Amino acid sequence: MIVHHLGKSQSERIVWLCEELGIPYELKVYDRDPVTRLAPPAYKALHPMGAAPVITDGDLVLAESAAIVDYIVARYGKGRLVVPPDHPEFAQFLYWFHFANGTLQPATGRNMILARLKLPQDNPILRAMQGRLDLALGHLEARLAKATFLAGDTFTTADIMIVFTLTTMRLFLPFDLAPYPAIRAYLQRIGQRDAYRRAMQKGDPDLVPLLT
């Protein structure tokens, strides 16, 4: 299996997942265009959507980070990093796994685009989207104030899915985590994981993870 990692992108999730599982994989790293900050032509050619992440596994070419995570866990995970349906936190696991790209990442993405438009701070659309991001972060804060990880005491792929938006995404949309002590404490716990450290060093060795 080859993990095609675009520097400073959501594909860091896939590198991290492989490190957590300890499965063999080949890592190919692609640098962003220094001017546009977009993926290079070689990366865009991998998949019709031209976006990260992408893996190839034999003849399979697969994109979308959540799909890739589910695929790798189902094929190579041997039951690790997920919780079974009879687990008391199963619903929470599912919810937060999908919250990452269903709610939190879109909220940051919309705010990133609006920030580039240089709109006045009283613009109603800008204020609404900022409010949506604040709401999402507050919701996550409430969960992490009472749980070690998103699925309770168990580290799962839900955590792998959400951390990018709280860390590396802030290179593209700076936002302050000072009002969210539980999130900041959670990121410190993540930063102590050997697999996370290895993944970030392999994929983005020039990046100091934004864990505060």
Taking only the tens place, the pLDDT of each residue in 46-96 is 999 888 999 999 999 999 999 999 999 999 999 999 999 999 999 999 999
The verdict on residue 21 lying in a domain is yes
Q: What is the pLDDT of residue 35?
A: 82
DSSP letter at 40 equals: P
Beta-bridge partners for 118: none
Residue 64 CB coordination number (10 Å): 16
Q: What is the pLDDT of residue 144?
A: 98
Residues 102 and 48 in one domain: no
Q: What is the pLDDT of residue 37?
A: 80
Give the pLDDT mean for 23-36. 91
The verdict on residue 98 lying in a domain is yes
Dihedrals phi, psi of 71, to nearest 5 degrees = -65, -50
Residue 173 has pLDDT above 90, yes or no: yes
Question: What percent of the chain has a predicted confidence (pLDDT) above 70?
Answer: 100
Q: What is the pLDDT of residue 20?
A: 98
Q: Which domain holds residue 152?
A: 90-193
CA distance 53 to 41: 14
Residues 186 and 121 in one domain: yes
Give the pLDDT mean for 113-138. 94
Q: What is the pLDDT of residue 59?
A: 96
Q: Return the ∠ at Cα 113 (arms to 111 and 114), rounded to 5°.
A: 65
Average pLDDT taken over every residue of the chain: 96
Q: What is the pTM of this model?
A: 0.94
Instruction: Considering only residues 39 and 97, tell me which one the structure prediction assigns the higher pLDDT.
Output: 97
Residues 97 and 67 in one domain: no
